[in-house]
Amino acid sequence: MSNAAPRPSVLFVCVHNAGRSQMGAAFLTHLAGDAVEVRSAGSAPADAVNPAVVEAMKEVGIDISAETPKILTTEAVQSSDVVITMGCGDTCPVFPGKRYLDWRLDDPAGQGVDAVRPIRDEIERRVRALLAEFGIPAASA
């Protein structure tokens, strides 16, 4: 039995769970491996992940083509240590005792891959900063 701290759990939330939250979850999974439990969801999930987002992530070696947008549930929020909201405003439920981070980022919906790249790069930067805060070394890309 190890005395390691329980692994932190992070939930990324945006309205459609088709762009920003998918990128956040993919970067955190990619960089943290099993050190962090990662979820993503949307308050009004789209039918599919934004193809420009899939393409932009593929450019950095992360394949999210098999991901599907998921509905945000109360359980997902309650079982997460950190909830990162990305432009969902008042539609994201708030629970006491949870740490909330609001990452204000442009919405990639309807944008081409050129517009998605800077959003992707900013999400990666913030995910790396979050890992550093957790004291978890990021895997090399």
Low-confidence ranges of the chain (pLDDT < 70): 1-5, 88-93, 140-141
Q: Are the C-beta atoms of residues 94 and 71 closer than 8 Å to each other?
A: no
Number of Cβ within 10 Å of residue 107's Cβ equals 17
- The answer to pTM > 0.85 is yes
Kind plus residue range of the DSSP H or E element containing 129: helix 113-134
pLDDT value, residue 96: 80
The tokens of 118 are what? 């800077």
Please identify every residue annotated as catalytic. 14, 88, 92
> Are the beta carbons of 32 and 59 closer than 8 angstroms?
no
CA distance 130 to 116: 21
